[in-house]
Amino acid sequence: MMLARMGSLHALEQDKGNRFWRRWLGRALPSADTIGRVFSQVVLVSIRSLLHHLYSRLKRNKALKKTHGFQVLILDGHEHTSSYLRCCSGCLRRTIHTREGDRIQYYHRNVLAMLSGRDFPVLLDVEEQKRKENEVSCALRLCERILKDYPRAFSVVVADGLYLEAPFFKLFLRHGKHIIAVLKDERRDLMEDARGLFQQEKPLIQIEGNLKRQIWDMEGFTSWQSLKREIRVVRCVETRTIRRQRTGEIEEETSEWIWATTLSQKEASTEAIIHLGHDRWLIENKVINEMVTYWHADHVYHHHPTAIVAFWLTLMLVLNLFRAFLYLNIKPEWRSKHTQIYFAMLISSALYQAMYPKIPP
């Protein structure tokens, strides 16, 4: 169903009469209610073991390429559903102020973990956020399981500024991992000290086409007292020249990025920190947005806390298999001519064509 990119269990059930399913499964296709009920009772460890098995096969076949010299784990949170009417025991709640008065909204959030490979990302695990906990607490629970199941899969963790907390850093440091996190809280002593020292130093200038970078890289900061170790801070001011499509005018866009990292200058170059810091957007652009837009990840197939996680894990397994097939079996010249959705449609149509003989002309 997910490989064929069907948007719901009811869409699958409407195709129940197709002989393809009986030939492929050896029996009639279950109803939408049956599939939803089974997913609400499935043991999540079984799906996670399949994800781990696929990761092991890819690693054994040397398909997991390092990016910028490191194996990188990227974490990010995502709110995937909300409703004023439907809820389950796992729903989070918040009060929304409207013109008609306050309303209770039910929603679900999760934290997703993926490996950022040079060729394609590999999704590892997902964890649902529970009531009365924030995203970082949910991520810590997820990371403890990942460190247990994938102890040698990565050496560097990249995360948003929300994860710039001592317990999060200490968890990975105890396991010999390094962290890169966005530093964007102006109230932090670390930010104040870094800005004060950056003003006294001349930046390194890099020019790549229409992109100009001003870079500051300093280590030895001890302002983060709760972490009890030195931190390195990298600042990058990027100025890009663009032409407005509507008016044709040439303008300059400037953006500032500041990262705090446990990697020393000997362990990672300034360029590596900048590229790894920017790679954090891959989990939103190449993973979450694609899952939501093209693979119906935000659809609630069955509103049950276990079923919701089970469907997410199943979709992650499908996408890992699809991307592995695409990059390891399709020649680059052919991939460059078509989108991933094109190949997904070919696979979907082939599922039906393989089960039926060709109609003679």
Q: What is the pLDDT of residues 79-101, one digit of tens each?
A: 999 999 999 999 999 999 988 89
Q: Is the pLDDT of residue 178 over 90?
A: yes
Question: What local confidence, expressed as pLDDT, does residue 140 receive?
Answer: 97
* Residue range 310-329: mean pLDDT, rounded: 95
pTM of the model: 0.91
Q: What angle do CA 323, 325, 328 make, to 5 degrees?
A: 100
User: What is the band of 361 on the pLDDT scale with cuts at 50, 70, 90?
Assistant: very low
pLDDT at 116 over 80: yes
Q: Any idea which residue has 């920190």 for tokens?
A: 273
Question: How does pLDDT run across 242-276, given as a tens digit for each residue?
Answer: 877 777 788 888 999 999 999 999 999 999 999 99
* Pairwise CA distance, residues 296 & 288, whole Å: 10
Residue 357, pLDDT score: 56
pLDDT at position 187: 65
Sign of CA pseudo-dihedral 106, 7, 345, 356: positive
The tokens of 149 are what? 């199941």
pLDDT at 355: 59
pLDDT at 56 (0 to 100): 96
Cα distance between residue 51 and residue 123, in whole Å: 8
pLDDT above 70 covers a percentage of the chain that reads 97
Of the segments 44-48, 239-243, 249-253, 278-282, which one has the largest average pLDDT value? 44-48
Q: Please state, rounded to an integer, the average pLDDT across all residues of the chain.
A: 90
pLDDT score for 358: 59
Q: What is the pLDDT confidence band of residue 210, given thresholds at 50, 70 and 90?
A: confident
Residue 34 pLDDT:
93
Average pLDDT for 100-114: 94
pLDDT of residue 354: 59
> Contact 310/126 with Cβ under 8 angstroms?
no
Give 316's pLDDT tier (boundaries 50, 70, 90).
very high
